Amino acid sequence: MSSGRNDLEIGYDVPAAIGDAVEDIQTPALVIDLDAFERNVERMRCHIESMDVRLRAHAKTHKSADIALFQIAKGGACGVCCQKVSEAEALVRGGVRDILVSNQVTGPLKVERLARLAGRARIIVCVDDATNVAALSKAAQSVGSTIEVLVEIDCGARRCGVQPGVPAADLARCVAATPNLVFSGLQAYHGSAQHIVDPVERRAAIASAIEMTRDTVRLLAEHGLECAIVGGAGTGSFDMEGCSGVYNELQCGSYIFMDADYGRVRDDDGGMVGGFEHALFVLTSVMSKTAPTRAVCDAGLKALAVDSGLPLIFDRPGIAYAAANDEHGKIDDPGNRLAINDRLLLVPGHCDPTCNLHDWFVGVRNGKVETLWPVTARGKLY
Amino acid sequence: MSSGRNDLEIGYDVPAAIGDAVEDIQTPALVIDLDAFERNVERMRCHIESMDVRLRAHAKTHKSADIALFQIAKGGACGVCCQKVSEAEALVRGGVRDILVSNQVTGPLKVERLARLAGRARIIVCVDDATNVAALSKAAQSVGSTIEVLVEIDCGARRCGVQPGVPAADLARCVAATPNLVFSGLQAYHGSAQHIVDPVERRAAIASAIEMTRDTVRLLAEHGLECAIVGGAGTGSFDMEGCSGVYNELQCGSYIFMDADYGRVRDDDGGMVGGFEHALFVLTSVMSKTAPTRAVCDAGLKALAVDSGLPLIFDRPGIAYAAANDEHGKIDDPGNRLAINDRLLLVPGHCDPTCNLHDWFVGVRNGKVETLWPVTARGKLY
């Protein structure tokens, strides 16, 4: 057993130390299989290269400056996306210099913070409201920075974004005419379509988004507005937008980890989408075994997000994660195979909110802890 | 607008500063209505006093040393419960000196950490396995500490715990005979019964748990084993265990905050259980309004736990939180009443995992930020 780095203090604030054996990681812990992770990063780099588009990897998945910098250095990413100003601030502190906040930033102090941040790094933001455009401009003027702006269109998700076509063109002209803002293109992300399991249905949903986006790009060109960025797409559909001839920046995030929900999304060949593999796990231990067909593990709602379904147990047939309580997972163990302190790897149902529960990624290779990456922007919600 | 405490740095790591107006809190933020919170604490103190039992408030709800110390100083609590060794470590660092880890602690290094912690504070832990009893004893002997032990019985939750009666008595004798451990009583918590909405059905479920516990206490007494602690109960049922004549330490947690799920649990008079009121909110802002009957707010799955249902919108009839995405909440706005930057108070569906998403409690009174309490044990899962 490792004596750990925390022995001299009251408390254990990191679930492992570099060099520890995997068996000594304190559970539950968020574990990356570094080999699988690096294969996923390389797979996406090859996909992107073959389609001749850019990758702007979505950092909302991992919230880690270390992973963002790895995606930029080794994975073909031109920069990253995130969703909140505080996330962008944390990533800039961590050394990332090209960030799209793929979301609206509207609160007065948030707008001011974003404008300041644009003096430190390339900052791009989405808009769907003319009053917000004026506020961004005023803040950027006051600190002397320039903010790049994408007009977000609602291409099927029915969430944020103006309607494609004329409303988008009107807002784009407004941006282009406003001081200290640069009109940089369109944000056209169809989030819900990413998770459609069947590739034919998924392609139909994305085809509709592509057509709306194509028409809007054409209309903008007629008004003399070129889109340096036409952004969108995710792990479920990136090949469709990437081959469309319309999109030029893909915003995939989950491909590095592949949660259980994305694991159900199929490619035409019936395999996991993009050829990616599970690389993120919650390592858990059995801590109670008082019934022959039931075990209880130490990873529940505070260690795993269950909004997209329960976790899968990796590589252990015959047992199943059956229910998540606050601090416990109930495991069906019909063959009475489990014992106290047995360890299991859980594939989380949804990786993004699962990562946001943990303070550390424990990167493992060959049975040893090789990296400890903080979840840099964990809890950066505002 | 407040200039905030973070202006000199890149980034905003606290959602508000003490003295800020409520309107200037960065959203989403976890907000406590301090008046309502203090009324809830006082209500429970009165309940406990009238029943002549102890309150061992459950800190898994809030994970805050500040709140734990307030419950002990002002709310009649003899100490607190928590669920993990790392939570207990964080609370001891924060000054709490009487802690029940109301859970099994089985991993070798965790057992060692618990034994060390027992040299710094009163530490009580639950067991349901004889091998675990031996491990706890060995660790306590090696560091020269004493750990108090409760035998956990399964009184209806079908999760952890040995069967009531003879199996519990056997394990209790094992504990009592083991060096550096003290047999302190029984843990008999019926978690799922807490959330039964109808008081008659809830009372029936708890009555069954009380009978099992009563029989086991009697059997232990026949073996000469007195239970200094008979612990269990929660916010939904505390008056039932409290008046049973069997339980003497109640482990209520959610009463301080009262989430939407507990808000549905009724007392006999049809009111909210225990007379408690909502005191915890996620403050959110509208950040997109591009359709007449829909708004989008900035609190989604990373700001709110949805395992026990979607949040309710507090004190704003005519609108409803309809869906949670990672970073967005979709709001049904049939009357087209909302505008960008409007602020809403959301009552979270489930308070415990919601608190675990945030780094700070922002305590407000009379329209101002009065306290900033860190979520001391946030993410302390191991």
Q: B132-177 pLDDT, tens per residue?
A: 999 999 999 999 999 999 999 999 989 999 999 999 999 999 999 9
Contact at CB, B93 and A352, closer than 8 angstroms: no
The per-residue pLDDT for range B202-255, each reduced to its tens digit, is: 999 999 999 999 999 999 999 999 999 999 999 999 999 999 999 999 999 999
Q: Which H/E stretch holds residue B58?
A: strand B54-58
What does the mean pLDDT of chain B come to? 95
Residues in chain A within 8 Å Cβ distance of B289? 129
Give the C-alpha distances (Å, rounded to integers) separating B50 from A9, A297, B55, B79, B241: 41, 38, 12, 19, 13
Question: How many other C-beta atoms can be found within 10 angstroms of the C-beta atom of residue B368?
Answer: 14
Cα distance between residue B195 and residue B234, in whole Å: 9
In this prediction, residues B319-330 reach a mean pLDDT of: 97
Cα distance between residue B132 and residue A34, in whole Å: 33
In this prediction, residues B271-294 reach a mean pLDDT of: 97
- CA triple B195-B196-B200, angle to 5 deg: 140
The residue written with tokens 């076509």 in the block is A165
In this complex, is the C-beta atom of B108 within 8 Å of any C-beta atom belonging to chain A? yes
The domain segmentation of chain A, as residue ranges, is 36-256
Architecture in CATH of A36-256: Alpha-Beta Barrel (3.20)
Q: Which residue of B has its CA nearest to A109?
A: B1
pLDDT at B8 over 50: no
pLDDT of residue A11: 63
Q: Which residues of chain A have pLDDT under 50?
A: 1-8
Phi, psi of A94 (to 5 degrees): -85, 0
The reply to whether omega before B15 is within 30° of 0 (cis) is no
Cα distance between residue B261 and residue B272, in whole Å: 11
ipTM of the complex in this document? 0.95
pLDDT of residue A13: 83
Region of B317 (left: φ > 0; alpha: ψ -120 to 50; beta: rest) is: beta
pLDDT at B4 over 80: no
pLDDT of residue B11: 62
Contact at CB, A28 and B307, closer than 8 angstroms: no
Q: Count residue pairs from A and B with Cβ separation < 8 A.
A: 219
Residues linked to residue A270 through DSSP beta bridges, in sequence order: none
The per-residue pLDDT for range B186-209, each reduced to its tens digit, is: 999 998 899 999 999 999 999 999
The per-residue pLDDT for range A179-197, each reduced to its tens digit, is: 999 999 999 999 889 999 9
Minimum distance, in Å, between the CA of residue A50 and any CA atom of chain B: 30
Give the C-alpha distances (Å, rounded to integers) separating B40 from B258, B273, B279: 9, 11, 8
Residues linked to residue B21 through DSSP beta bridges, in sequence order: B368
The per-residue pLDDT for range A143-172, each reduced to its tens digit, is: 999 999 999 999 998 999 999 999 999 999
Contact at CB, B306 and A307, closer than 8 angstroms: yes
Q: What is the value of pTM for the model shown?
A: 0.96
Q: Which residue of A has its CA nearest to B328?
A: A159
In this complex, is the C-beta atom of B98 within 8 Å of any C-beta atom belonging to chain A? no
Q: How far is CA A28 from the centre of its chain?
A: 21
Helices A130-143 and A166-176 cross at an angle (nearest 10°) of 20
Q: Quick one: fold of B35-256?
A: TIM Barrel (3.20.20)
Contact at CB, B381 and A113, closer than 8 angstroms: no
Phi, psi of A172 (to 5 degrees): -65, -40
The per-residue pLDDT for range B291-306, each reduced to its tens digit, is: 999 999 999 999 999 9
In this complex, is the C-beta atom of A353 within 8 Å of any C-beta atom belonging to chain B? yes
Q: Which of A108, A162, A303 sits opposite B381 (nearest CB)?
A: A303
Contact at CB, B93 and A11, closer than 8 angstroms: yes
Cα distance between residue A32 and residue A108, in whole Å: 38
Between residues 188 and 227 of chain A, which touch chain B (CB distance below 8 Å)? 191
Cα distance between residue A231 and residue A252, in whole Å: 10
Between residues 122 and 181 of chain B, which touch chain A (CB distance below 8 Å)? 128-129, 131-132, 154, 158-163
In this complex, is the C-beta atom of B115 within 8 Å of any C-beta atom belonging to chain A? no
Residues in chain A within 8 Å Cβ distance of B382? 12, 15, 26-29, 298
Minimum distance, in Å, between the CA of residue A60 and any CA atom of chain B: 9
